[in-house]
């Protein structure tokens, strides 16, 4: 099926080579909205121009930092290369502190050093050293492949060469594996898993009909998938290798986009049991489906549970002629739209529980953005010249 037609249908139903690094034009959309979070003026220093550039690129995506010159800064962050895998971070402001951070390579060590600066100044987790997985199409490409990258798009790795659409990657919590939906060999929608350390692939689900999903529980012991083997799209839960599957929804409707709660005991997902897609929650082993009444739109899909703050979810709504993303707070019942501009969907929480990564559509081209759900700041992660990138997922690991 044509990728555009397939993705349109998916929304209706809601639903080892290296690419060379490119210069990226960072764009930030709109002024920050008022919020209760602190916003600091920071200056970035480094004797290494490349490190300085990557650090500036990282901090430009965070809603609590505004880049400025040293004389106007409240904090000065300095980064110095110590070795091929370590970078020293120095913070000057109300006092000074420094630390040497190590990583898998120089850029990863730098991004961990940037996260150290976030932790010391905001007292919250950073996300800069996390990894992205996404569906990737070259400019003018006929199909998409699965790729992974760091947050500054210095190290991009295409991990499939199927020459057929590969979609919706999901990291394992330790970042060692990816589950994705593809048309590899059979030309049908099957679920595959790839070990990122060995680059080996295995079929996870290839039942009659469509097999997709692949979201994993926080402890990595369970996987939620969507199968149509019973006649309509239902959610099933099995172990990390998609074995021992147990059907947890039993409706005549279409279910999709399952996401685990932080403690792994519940699921949220989309269902059109009311005639239009809405968000529902239920126990992970099955039971009563309870609607999450956001009152924002008659089309609510693609929910993702915040593992840092279990009171929050992010999801996609229909708005105008396209889509936007919104958050919902279970404790307060507050729902708010957090994106604007070009049609926006597929949001996943980053490791600070505040920012999300998502996709924005510009005609046939899709770009990945980071959005601060507190300030509304929107930042493109890559240039349009890189290709069309969609279906993002995110993981943050110790190394």
pLDDT in tens, 270-295: 999 999 999 999 999 999 999 999 99
Give per-residue pLDDT as tens, 310-352: 999 999 999 999 999 999 999 999 999 999 999 999 999 999 9
pLDDT for 185? 78
Give per-residue pLDDT as tens, 207-221: 999 999 999 999 999
pLDDT for 274? 94
pLDDT-based confidence at 94, cuts 50/70/90?
Answer: confident
Give per-residue pLDDT as tens, 111-137: 999 999 999 999 999 999 999 999 999
CA-to-CA distance for 180 and 252, rounded, in angstroms?
25
Q: Is the pLDDT of residue 35 over 80?
A: no
Average pLDDT, the chain: 91
Q: Quick one: average pLDDT of 11-37?
A: 44
Long-range contacts of the stretch 116-125 (C-beta < 8 A, 24+): 116/89, 117/75, 117/77, 117/89, 117/91, 118/62, 118/352, 120/91, 121/40, 121/75, 121/91, 121/93, 122/38, 122/64, 124/352, 124/354, 125/308, 125/351, 125/352, 125/353, 125/396
Alpha carbon distances (Å) from 391 to 170, 181, 378? 9, 11, 17
The crossing angle, in degrees rounded to 10, of helices 49-59 and 106-122 is 50
Q: Which two tokens stand for residue 352?
A: 């600070």
The sign one gets for the Cα dihedral 82, 87, 92, 97 is: negative
Query: Pick from 383, 392, 381: which is nearest to 57 by CA?
Result: 381
Give per-residue pLDDT as tens, 240-256: 999 999 999 999 999 99
């Amino acid at each position: 099926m044509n990728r555009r037609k397939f993705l349109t249908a998916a929304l209706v139903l809601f639903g080892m080579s290296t690419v060379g690094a490119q210069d990226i034009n960072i764009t930030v959309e709109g002024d920050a909205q008022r919020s209760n979070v602190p916003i600091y003026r920071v200056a970035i220093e480094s004797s290494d121009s490349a490190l300085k550039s990557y650090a500036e690129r990282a901090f430009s995506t965070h809603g609590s930092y505004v880049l400025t010159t040293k004389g106007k800064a409240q904090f000065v962050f300095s980064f110095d290369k110590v070795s091929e895998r370590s970078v020293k971070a120095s913070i000057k402001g109300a006092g000074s502190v420094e630390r040497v951070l190590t990583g898998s390579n120089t850029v990863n060590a730098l991004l961990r050093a940037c996260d150290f600066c976030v932790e010391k100044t905001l007292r919250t987790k950073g996300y800069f050293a996390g990894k992205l997985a996404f569906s990737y199409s070259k400019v003018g490409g006929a199909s998409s492949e699965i790729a992974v990258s760091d947050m500054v798009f210095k190290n991009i790795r295409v991990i499939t060469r199927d020459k057929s659409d590969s979609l919706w990657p999901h990291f394992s919590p330790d970042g060692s594996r990816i589950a994705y939906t593809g048309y590899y060999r059979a030309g049908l929608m099957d679920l595959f898993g790839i070990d990122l350390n060995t680059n080996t692939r295995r079929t996870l689900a290839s039942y009659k009909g469509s097999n997709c999903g692949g979201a994993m529980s926080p402890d990595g012991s369970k996987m939620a998938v969507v199968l149509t083997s019973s006649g309509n799209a239902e959610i099933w839960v099995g172990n990390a290798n998609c074995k021992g599957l147990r059907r947890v929804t039993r409706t005549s409707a279409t279910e999709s986009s399952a996401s685990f709660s932080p403690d792994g005991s519940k699921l949220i997902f989309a269902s059109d049991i009311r005639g239009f897609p809405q968000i529902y929650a239920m126990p992970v082993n099955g039971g009563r489906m309870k609607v999450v009444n956001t009152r924002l739109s008659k089309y609510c899909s693609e929910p993702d549970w915040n593992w840092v703050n279990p009171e929050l979810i992010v999801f996609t709504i229909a708005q105008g002629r396209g889509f936007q993303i919104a958050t919902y707070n279970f404790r307060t019942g507050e729902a708010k739209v957090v994106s604007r501009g070009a049609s926006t969907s597929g949001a996943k929480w980053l490791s600070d529980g505040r920012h999300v990564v998502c996709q924005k559509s510009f005609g046939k081209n899709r770009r990945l953005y980071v959005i601060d759900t507190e300030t509304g700041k929107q930042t493109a992660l890559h240039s349009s010249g890189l290709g069309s990138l969609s279906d993002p997922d995110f993981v943050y690991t110790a190394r």
